[in-house]
Amino acid sequence: MNFEARRQSILNQMAENSLLILYSGTPIHISADAYHHFEANKHFYYLTGLRRENMILVLRKSENGNQSMLYIEKSDPNAERWTGKMVTVEEAKSISGIDDVRFTASFQAQLDYLLGSSTLSTCYFDCYRHQQSDLPDYNLAKAQQFAAEHPGITVRNLWPMAAKLRMQKDEDEVALTEHAIDITDKALQRVLTTLEPGMKEYQAQANFEHMVHYLGAEGPSFPTIAGSGKNGCMLHYETNRDTCQDGTLLLLDLGVRYQGYCSDITRTYPVSGKFSERQRKVYEIVLKANKEVAAQAKPGMTTKELNEICKKVLTQGCMELGLIDKEEDIGKYYMHGVSHHLGLDVHDVTVEGVKLAPGSIITDEPGLYIDEWEIGIRIEDDLLITEDGCRVLSAAIIKEPDEIEAFMANR
Ligand SMILES: [Mn+2]
């Protein structure tokens, strides 16, 4: 992947005489000597191709030219014995394309030197915070510390610049996403092959996740949702402990992460292998909305506009079914948005007001949630916005009710 071009694009947007300091981060502590599985800062991975802890990317923009420096930990045979091989200088160079690789032990002294000898005016950090109530992320904490120690230097946020870049995927990113989607397809076929009444929802989840690992992905891209019957109406149902009853539907919202890139797919299957007449009617409405969004998605649009298109189809369908009398009541059965960006994050970075453009990867996920009928249906595909429309990257994952029934009948 062309990490050099991505760094160049950030450098182009940086102020004159400025510095970017971006940390890969450290593992988050759970309890006693246990730590969460480490996830590197996504911008760091995006700009370097590296995702190990305790690394620092420094970009310097000055009148003497631009500079990229990478700081890594010096490998330590004793540490490697316990926690695995560390990245060597040669590996770091060849993956990131950065020639100037140094050890973190020298970082502070070199930073002090840069701050003391140059006319540095601005320093960029990733200052993202999801909710005000959250503790600061590693990079934000470092930014706050830097601001306190260097009141004369303006601290600015890398996030909007990096997020805007990440919103348009290049060919390599599309290929990785397609691979994640292909694994999702095969793992869902495994679920379809084994699904039967009496099964626990977590068994359907296990059949999916087994294949995800078996096929070489890193794992699910988020906690698998497997909700049967009325559980399908709960948007973030994750306990997956109920029994899949005969005659109900099983809603599966799941995804795969491959080299960092996520798929996000939802399919809804009849547990018995056959839709009831009522289930099929609702399913057809959701499917129609799903297809309409894909038919209309194109550059220049917003996900909000796509949601209006989706709501129109769902509203019309619900009125025909007699579920609602007035358009404004659709919120009773459809209460989320139809689309979000997808990438290194499942709900990928999105800069307010930026419209869809070629290279955007978004979801298309209408749903209807009818508690009183115990019917929860969502159909979610992943779309790549092209020059004049979109390509459904998940087109191979079957969703026509006849195809689903035929697949289950012939398994
Ligand atoms: Mn989604």
- DSSP per residue, 360-377: -EEEE--EEEEGGGTEEE
Provide the residues around ligand 1 (an ion) whose CB is within 5 A: 264, 363
Please tell me the CATH code under which domain 171-409 is placed.
3.90.230.10
- Separation of 254 CA from ligand 1 center, angstroms? 8
- Separation of 360 CA from ligand 1 center, angstroms? 15
Q: Specify the pLDDT at position 84.
A: 86
- Separation of 107 CA from ligand 1 center, angstroms? 40
Axis crossing angle, helix 201-214 with helix 171-194, rounded to the nearest 10: 140
Kindly state the helix (H) or strand (E) to which residue 212 belongs, with its residue range: helix 201-214
| Token couple for 197 | 């009444």
- Separation of 126 CA from ligand 1 center, angstroms? 25
Pairing of strands 154-157, 122-125: parallel
Per-residue pLDDT of the chain (411 residues; tens, 9 = 90+): 899 999 999 999 999 999 999 999 999 999 999 999 999 999 999 999 999 999 999 999 998 899 999 999 998 889 899 888 999 999 999 999 999 999 999 999 999 998 887 789 999 999 999 999 999 999 999 999 999 999 999 999 999 999 999 999 999 999 999 999 999 999 999 999 999 999 999 999 999 999 999 999 999 999 999 999 999 999 999 899 999 999 999 999 999 999 999 999 999 999 999 999 999 999 999 999 999 999 999 999 999 999 999 999 999 999 999 999 999 999 999 999 999 999 999 999 999 999 999 999 999 999 999 999 999 999 999 999 999 999 999 999 999 999 999 999 999
Catalytic residues: 33, 236, 253, 264, 336, 340, 347, 365, 369, 378, 380
* Whole-prediction pTM: 0.96
Establish whether domains 3-166 and 171-409 are of one fold.
Answer: no
What is d(CA 103, CA 72) in angstroms, rounded to the nearest whole number? 5
Domain boundaries, the chain: 3-166, 171-409
What is d(CA 15, CA 77) in angstroms, rounded to the nearest whole number? 41
- Separation of 324 CA from ligand 1 center, angstroms? 26
Answer whether 21's CB lies under 8 Å from 58's CB: yes
Please tell me the CATH code under which domain 3-166 is placed.
3.40.350.10
pLDDT tens digits, one per residue of 270-308: 999 999 999 999 999 999 999 999 999 999 999 999 999
pLDDT tens digits, one per residue of 7-49: 999 999 999 999 999 999 999 999 999 999 999 999 999 999 9
Q: Specify the pLDDT at position 1.
A: 82
